[in-house]
Amino acid sequence: MIRAALVTVISLLFLSACKREKTQNPAGERTEIAVKYAKGFRITRFDSYTKIEVSAPWPDAKEHFTYILTSKGETIPDGVTYDTWVNVPVENVVVTSTTHIPALEALGVEDRLTGFPDTRYISSEKTRKNVDLGRVKELGNNESINTEVLIDLQPDVVVGFALSGSNKTYETVQRSGIPVVFNGDWVEESPLGKAEWIKFFAPFFGREAKADSIFNHIETEYLNARKLTENITEKPTVLSGAMHKDVWILPGGKSWAAQFIRDAGGDYLWKDTDNTGSLFLSFESVLNRGQDSDFWISPTMFSGYEELKTANPHYKEFKPFRAQNIYTYSKTKGAGGGMLYYELGPNRPDIILKDLIHIFHPEILPEHQPFFFKPLDQ
């Protein structure tokens, strides 16, 4: 009898707790949207609103942001806390990084872009056409956006790009009543993590299903390409970067760029370093380790051997220079001169990976036509 009474009491307490938890959630059922690779955001869908949480808007950020999206005319339930409220679907948007452009185009909402800082750097043909037709207003540059022009546009939302939490421009925009949300795609350390930020954009336009389909395709293409190099035993050694003033800048061993080399079946010579960003080394130290490397990729902005030799005659001491095994992304440019590697590349890591596999192991993808990475001009 005592045991039965205890079971009854515990059951009642459990049901009571469940009931309290349910009543404390005025928005009803919640659904966590699958985010597999990106670490900087999460999305939760409730009956009456969508919550987007951004935990990494810039490197080493201590600030976390919560954005609430509701259909126009809807209100936010009592008890829901947030930093910014956006009515969706968004019909008029301002974005601030070229990496945002491919996401808008992939979702089919590029015509909703009305303002951008430094429009000359936009390379995509679709959005470039809208810029040339005057449909996208010039907003100055990211460090000092023309807030008067931006506020006159009255966008439904501004998607911000920031290096730190101190940005008076965005504060001014927010005070004018225009919502600002931060996108941290560039902070992600994995190729698929960067590309997955298309899911961040989707709820603002009601294009969640399309974003899932697009990302699933990119993920499948990337993983299938990576499988092709899994059993390779002989991996070519790879050097990257070039001199800038008095230092050689190259990717750290835990960086986005280094992961591409590894996944493409290359042996990156600085793979054992812990840096997720860049390394800054002397010419002598790079020459000592990389002089006999098999390939040299991403020699910053250089596009030809003569240009490289003119900048520093000692580049000739590297084996890839003599063997003409240097490949660059700087030759793939848009109409305005912007490099597609920086605009489209983060959104299409599958193409970058196939380019590098074709370079390191041409027998694996013999029919692939490199898009981003091309040989230096002779």
Tell me what pLDDT residue 27 has: 53
Q: What is the mean pLDDT of residues 263-276?
A: 96
Give Cα 9 to chain centroid, integer Å.
Answer: 52
pLDDT tens digits, 300-322: 889 899 999 999 999 999 999 99
Among 311, 309, 266, 298, residue whose Cα is nearest residue 375 = 298
Domain boundaries, the chain: 30-220, 228-375
Tell me what pLDDT residue 16 has: 37
Q: What is the dihedral of CA 105, 106, 109, 114, to 10 degrees?
A: -30
Same fold flag, 30-220 and 228-375: yes
Asked whether the predicted pLDDT for residue 53 surpasses 70, the reply is yes
Asked whether the predicted pLDDT for residue 186 surpasses 80, the reply is yes
Report the C-alpha gap between 264 and 165 in whole angstroms: 36
Report the C-alpha gap between 330 and 323 in whole angstroms: 20
Among 114, 129, 119, residue whose Cα is nearest residue 98 = 119
CATH entry, 228-375, from 3.40.50.1980, 3.40.50.1970, 1.10.10.10, 3.40.605.10: 3.40.50.1980
CATH architecture of 30-220: 3-Layer(aba) Sandwich (3.40)
The identity of residue 23, as a single letter, is T
Asked whether the predicted pLDDT for residue 330 surpasses 80, the reply is yes
pLDDT tens digits, 10-33: 343 333 333 333 334 555 688 999
- Alpha helical stretches, state H, the chain: 2-23, 100-106, 125-132, 147-153, 168-175, 191-195, 198-205, 208-227, 256-263, 283-290, 305-311, 319-323, 340-343, 349-360
Cβ neighbours for 218, distance < 8 A, ≥ 6 positions apart: 192, 195, 347, 348, 349, 350
Q: What is the mean pLDDT of residues 282-290?
A: 97
- Residue 258: exposure state from Cβ atoms within 10 A (0-12, 13-18, ≥19): buried
Any idea what the Cα angle at residue 121 is, between residues 114 and 99, rounded to 5°? 75
Tell me what pLDDT residue 164 has: 83
pLDDT tens digits, 167-181: 889 999 999 999 999
Asked whether the predicted pLDDT for residue 120 surpasses 70, the reply is yes
Region label for 188, one of left (φ > 0), alpha (ψ between -120 and 50) or beta (otherwise): beta
SS (H, E, C) 263-299: HCCCEECCCCCCCCCEEEECHHHHHHHHCCCCEEECC
Task: Please provide residue 374's backbone torsions phi and psi, each rounded to the nearest 5 degrees.
Answer: -135, 155
Among 30, 62, 65, residue whose Cα is nearest residue 45 = 30
Return mean pLDDT, the chain. Answer: 91
Asked whether the predicted pLDDT for residue 66 surpasses 60, the reply is yes
Tell me what pLDDT residue 378 has: 86
Report the C-alpha gap between 70 and 67 in whole angstroms: 10
Among 309, 338, 341, residue whose Cα is nearest residue 328 = 341
- Is the alpha carbon torsion for 230, 370, 217, 94 positive or negative? positive
Report the C-alpha gap between 159 and 180 in whole angstroms: 6
Tokens at residue 205, please? 């336009």
- Between 165 and 113, the more confident residue is 113
Q: Strand 242-244 and strand 247-251: pairing?
A: antiparallel
Tell me what pLDDT residue 18 has: 36
Beta bridge partners of 138: 116
Asked whether the predicted pLDDT for residue 69 surpasses 90, the reply is yes
Q: How many CB atoms lie within 10 A of CB 163?
A: 12
In the chain, % of residues over pLDDT 90 = 83
- Between 194 and 300, the more confident residue is 194
- Between 7 and 43, the more confident residue is 43
Report the C-alpha gap between 97 and 99 in whole angstroms: 5
Cβ neighbours for 359, distance < 8 A, ≥ 6 positions apart: 264, 295, 297, 327, 370, 373
Least confident of 39-48, 172-181, 330-339: 330-339
Tell me what pLDDT residue 309 has: 94
Q: What is the DSSP string of 175-216?
A: HTT--EEE--GGG--SHHHHHTTHHHHHHHHT-HHHHHHHHH
Least confident of 113-117, 213-217, 276-280, 337-341: 337-341
Tell me what pLDDT residue 177 has: 96
